[in-house]
Structures are given as structure tokens and as C-alpha cells.
Chains A and B, each alone.
Chain A
Amino acid sequence: MTNKKIRVLITKPGIDGHWRGGIVVARALRDAGMELIFGGFQNIDQIVESAIHEDVDVIGMSIHSGAHMAYTRQLFERLKEKGVENDFLVILGGVIPVNDFPRLKGLGVANIFGPGTITKDIVDFITNNIES
């Protein structure tokens, strides 16, 4: 594990085009030495397909549309269908209210990074959770 670079998919589920957050995070993870796959707009099927084909360790979904519950639910349903729900560290970023964090974590999300996040915290979280 320690010799292999951590591979991360940063993706935007749906059609909402608020792009700044996803790209800032993608760049920060790449600068921290991770291998980065930027999915852009993807539907849930495409996200799961990319994650499997690209053999990533982390799926990061950037959501500013308010539809974070719906997309996260769909993601875990699809991962379960494929039998890979334990293969990825799933993290979210965007305008997601703290009130929804418990429900999202209940679905299987490892962490949620809301407005004002320092990118180093995301890098540290991924590094600590993939290496351990």
C-alpha cells in the first residue's frame, strides 16, 4: 500500500455546474502526490464504472445543487448492486448542511467537507484513512 500512489476520482454527479470547489480540491490532491481522475459531470452509473475501471481508492463527489441526499443514496445502491460498497473511501464536498452529515454518514460516506474547508484537511483525511 505504501508504495502505491493513492488514486482519487473527483466527480460532479448530475448537471449542476458549480465547478470551483471540485477543481480546487482536485488540484490540491494532485499537488499532494495523489493520482487524480477528474470525472467532470457524471451520472451515478458512470461514476461507479469509472471508479471500478480506474481502480481508485477514493470517490469524491462535489455537490452544490442541494441534491446530495438523492445522489449519495443512488451511489451506495449502485455500489451494493456491484458488490463493491466496501472498496472505496467515499467523501463529499460542497454546499451540504451539517444537519445532513449524520444521514450521509449513515449511508456510508466517510466524511463531508463543507464551505471553508482547508484543502490540507482533505489530504490528511484521505492519507490517514487509506494507509491505515
Chain B
Amino acid sequence: MYDKDFLERIKKEKEVWEKKHKDIKERNQKFETDSGILVKNLYTPLDVKGDYLKKVNFPGDPPYTRGPYSSMYRGRVWTKRLFSGHGTPEETNERWKFLYEHGETGFSAAVDALTFNGIDPSNKDGAPEVGTSGVPLYCIDSLFALTKDIPIDKISVALVVEPFTSAPVCSMYFNMAKMKGYDLKNLMGTTQNDILTMTVGYIPYKNVPPDHSLRLACDFIEWTVPMKNVPKWHPINFTGYNYREGGIDAVQELGFVFSSACSHIDNIIERGWKIDDFVNRFAFHLSAHKDFFEEIAKYRAARRIWAALIKDQYNAKDPKSLQFKFHVQTAGSSLTAQLPEVNIARTAIQALEATLGGCQSLHTNSYDEAICLPSKKAALVALRTQQIIEDEARITNTVDPLAGSYYIEWLTDEIEDRVWKYIDKIKNIGSIDKALSSGWLYKEMRDAFQKRQKRMERGEEIILGVNKYPMDYDPNCGIFRTNEEAMGIEIQRIKKLKEKRDNKKLESIFDELRNVCEKQENVMPIIMKATKEGATVGEICDIYREIWGIWEPPLAI
């Protein structure tokens, strides 16, 4: 990036400087990033390699290292989108409206474990968990209740469901929107639809095998975007965040995400579509973890890797296909149950990483995350944290303000190199469903979280209040409790629905779904019909299970 003579001068002067200070002792023998990259004492122009225009360039221009858009936050700030859901759809609607009134600009539905796993509340195995970890969305009536009085034509909604339930839950949302008179052609939102979340990020309860999950994810992508049924929707959000929370590092996070994206692209291209027909609607969801500079470098590296991957390996022609756009969630696993107020500071620092790294959308965690679901007050503090960055700290004044920092540019290069190597490693295992069914990804996860646990227990990874200055839990801290009546309310909701729907008509729709599943055709058209007629998520998922069988993940202990 600099001319030769200039670098020669710096090199000489640096040697002089090093000699002068060689006897000064440092605190540690080595300093390294969270992912184990060795960090030098100082970075200078000597560490910044390559051509600025090729590697960094201007925002909105390839390889988009500085951002997908030319104006970034000067044009439009990130979407303030809190992941939120509890109790019943009505209670979640209240919380959503409360946050909206206080400046939230996007919604994200955290669903409960039954919705996630395609289980109706009449199933005794899951009944105690109705509404305890998210909002129950078992049938179309719940979607009407969730979005009551919310202008879903103006504000985007993220539905955090995975391939196993993305078709039933999102078809309920689309049908609800249509019945309310909205045109699906203009509807904005995101479906997480991420196979790895529901396999290695979180263990699936009676889900179907990975090859079917991958196909279900691609059915949804195909039906919404290239088939143009909901063309402005983000049909998939590769959620590195969820497996990062399991203990893997920043390099592995990007490696998992890009390898998974390639398997989905390959599947959709096999169906006869071209890369530019769909890939510009792909979205990503990354973590903002503890290592401040490493996370910022990670976002910049991710943009550059994606542009190269899509251009060089898939020959995309549309510049939009090369733009890496992402949501960030601050790291829940970095928070402590001890002195939870300290989590406000942790989250604020992580939110700065996300915004200095150029995210398009952001969830900030509530300080009570390590104890319970977010209380109203804790959620508001989390929202205000984002608003401080937006309205008070003025970090949005210029685009990619850390570009040109010798350390940041060097670290961006370093992460990029390591991610490419990791992508190659996964490629040798095979497509993402094979990396799952062979157990390879589970072993990577297990090794990562065992290693992290040991580092934590040896005090190498410091957690304040836990392994440094340890303290007890505070028995007087406030707890947000979800509605204990939720199970009864949801069982009643489904009972009423079953009384009013045309059960005979549904039976024949279910037979058609069985047929579609057996032939492995796109499930979306028939599921749109089914949920409009009042089919529940559990009923549809039971048909998947009946035809494709239940998968036992190869957990490595």
C-alpha cells in the first residue's frame, strides 16, 4: 500500500526503535487473539500488504471490505432489532410494541422450543416448555396475535425458525400477511432457516436427517426468491452466532458459515437457477464476541471473502450478489449471572464492535441474559445501548473509521487467510449435510467447547466475577418470569382452531403433502395451503417425520 522507499525508511527506523527498547519486559510471554493469532507489540506500515484498490477499496465497491453500501450509516443506520419472545403471542406483541415505541426499527421472533422442534403443546414431552424460552407460534391464529397493530409493511420481521419448521411457520406468516391485504411481493423480513443452528448450535428433538433439512432450507429459498413469491424476503440467514456461542472461534465461525452457504448455493444451482437469481437475498448473522479488534477484523474479512467466493467460484455477474450483509448479536455466552449489571458494559463494547464493523442489523443482549428471559427494563437498556452509539457517540459520522489502522488491516488479512484454509478443510469432508451426518462438525464443536472450558478453569480466559474476583450470585436480583398459564392458553387456542377448521379438507391436503415429501418436490406450495386451512406446525412436522424418519445426531462426548 506504500511506496518502497518509504517502507525502507520505516524498516530502518523501526530497527533502531526496537534496539532502544529491547530491555523492556512485557507482562506476558505472548499476546494473542481469542482465536489464537499471535499479536505483535506494534503494527506499522510494514504490516499492511497489497494494493489498496484491490483489497480494501471504497465502500460500496468490490471487494466491499469497507462496507456493502457507499454511504453506510450516513445514509441509513443499522436496524435495531431485538430478538424477543415469551409466554404467548399476545404478550410478545405487547413487548414488541413497547420496544417499537422506544425506537426499535426491526423485530425478531424468538420462538419457544416446541415451535422450534415442530411439536404441538398436546405433546407431553414438551408441554412444560410452552412459552418459557420464546413465543409459541403453533398455528396461523398465533401470527395474527403476534403482529396485531404492527405495520408489517413498513417494518421487517425476522422469524427465527430453522429448516425443519421454516416452511410451516413462515407460510403462516405469509398467509396472515396476505389475509391482512399485504402484497407478498413487497413484504420484508428474514427467515433464519439455518441447518447448523438446529444441529450443532442446538440439538434437535426428533427432527429429520440433515439431507432432508438441507433440501427443506433450499425449498424455502427457491420458492420465495428465484420463484419470486416473496422476492424481497431474506430466505436464509447463515447464523454463525449460534455455533460461535457453542465455543468455536472467529475463524471457525466464518468457516462454518461460508461452507454451509456453498452447499445451499450448489443445491439451488442444481435445481436449474443461476447464482444471480437468488444469492443477493442471502443474509448472515454473526457474533460480536469478546475480542474487540478481532471481531471488527472478522466482519471486514467476511465481506472480502464473500465477494471473492461468489465471483471466482460461482461467476456471479450482479454486483449485489457479492455484497455481504449481516446482522450481529452480542455474545450471550460472555455474560455472567454474577453481578448482572456488568453485562451492560460487556454488551456496549460488543455493540461497538458490530457498528464499527459495519453491521446492517443488531441485537444487543439484555443484562439478565444469564439468568432468565429479558425483563422489560433490561430489554430497554439493551435498546438504549444501541441508541447511545447511534445518537450520542457519533461513531456513525464516517464510513469504516478503523480502516487504515495498521493492526486492523493486518488482522483482517490474517483472518481472511485462516478462513480460506478452514473452508478448504471442510470442503474435503464434503457438503454440509455430510459434515453433519459423519459427526465431523460435532467433534469440532466438542473440541472447541472443551478447550474453552479448560482455558476458563485454568484462568487463561478471564471472566470477571467468575474466575477473577469471583463472587456469588445475587439472590435479590429481579427475575423475569414467563406466564405460567401459557401451556393452557395455547392448548385452548389449538382446540378452538381445530373446531372451526375444515378437518376433512385438511386431511386431503395432508395426503398431498405426504405425496410431495415422498417425491421430494418443493414443499412450500402445499404447506401454504395447509397452514391457510389451519394446519399446525406439529401436524406438518409429524408428516415429515413419518415420511423421512427421525435423526439421532452423532453427538460426541
Contacts and interface: CB of A to CB of B under 8 A. Distances in A.
Chain B, interface size: which category?
Answer: 35 or more
Interface string B442-458: 00001001100100010
22 contacts: A12-B203, A15-B119, A15-B125, A15-B206, A17-B113, A17-B202, A17-B205, A19-B202, A19-B555, A20-B246, A23-B557, A64-B133, A66-B373, A66-B482, A97-B371, A97-B372, A98-B475, A99-B477, A114-B473, A116-B370, A116-B466, A119-B453
Contacts, number: 112
Contacts of A118: 457, 467
B125 A99 contact: no
Chain A, interface size: which category?
Answer: 35 or more
Given A38-B557, A43-B125, A17 B453 contact: no
A98 B337 contact: yes
Given A19-B555, A20-B247, A114-B473, 4 more contacts: A16-B113, A95-B372, A98-B477, A119-B453
The interface residues of chain B, by DSSP majority, are classed as: loop
B210 to A, nearest CB: 15
A99 B472 CA distance: 12
B132 interface: yes
A16 B133 contact: yes
Interface in A1-53: 12, 14-20, 23-24, 26-28, 30, 36, 38, 40-41, 43
A67 B465 CA distance: 26
Nearest to B125: A43
Contact of A17 (B204, B336, B463): B204
Interface string A71-92: 1001000000000000000000
A122 B449 CA distance: 18
B371 A24 contact: no
B457 A120 contact: yes
A5 B163 CA distance: 43
Contact of B479 (A20, A36, A97, A119): A97
A71 B338 CA distance: 25
Interface in B458-497: 463, 465-467, 473-475, 477, 479, 482
A15 B128 CA distance: 10
A30 B557 CA distance: 10
A107 to B, nearest CB: 15
Given A15-B129, A27-B557, A41-B205, A65 B113 contact: yes
B343 to A, nearest CB: 11
B486 to A, nearest CB: 11
Nearest to B465: A116
A67 B246 contact: no
Contacts of B479: 97, 99
B40 interface: no
Contacts of A18: 202-203
Nearest to A64: B133
B202 A70 contact: no
B129 A40 contact: no
Contacts of B202: 17-19
A116 B449 contact: no
B117 interface: yes
Given A40-B555, A98-B474, A67 B128 contact: yes
Q: Which of A27, A115, A120 has the most CB of B within 10 A?
A: A115
Given A17-B113, A23-B555, A65 B132 contact: yes
A65 B482 CA distance: 11
B409 to A, nearest CB: 34
B124 interface: yes
Contact of A16 (B129, B371, B449): B129
The interface residues of chain A, by DSSP majority, are classed as: mixed
Contacts of A40: 203, 555
A99 to B, nearest CB: 5
A15 B370 contact: no
Contacts of B247: 20
Contacts of B337: 95, 97-98, 114-116
A40 B206 CA distance: 12
Nearest to A120: B457
Contact of B205 (A15, A28, A115): A15
B45 interface: no
Nearest to B556: A23
B457 A119 contact: yes
Given A98-B474, A115-B336, A67 B370 contact: no
B113 to A, nearest CB: 5
A18 to B, nearest CB: 6
Nearest to A14: B129
Given A15-B125, A66-B133, A114-B473, A27 B457 contact: no
A98 B372 contact: no
Nearest to B86: A66
Contacts of A65: 113, 128-129, 132-133
A40 B551 CA distance: 13
Contacts of B59: none
Nearest to B200: A19
A23 B128 contact: no
A74 B129 CA distance: 13
B433 to A, nearest CB: 18
Contacts of B245: 20
B414 to A, nearest CB: 28
B336 A116 contact: yes
Contacts of A71: 128
Contacts of B113: 14-17, 65
B133 A115 contact: no
A71 B205 CA distance: 17
Interface string B230-260: 0000000000000001110000000000000
Contacts of B467: 116, 118
B481 to A, nearest CB: 8
Given A14-B113, A15-B125, A43-B125, A23 B204 contact: no
B126 interface: yes
B114 interface: yes
B371 to A, nearest CB: 5
A23 B247 CA distance: 12
Interface string B190-215: 00000000100011111000000000
A24 to B, nearest CB: 5
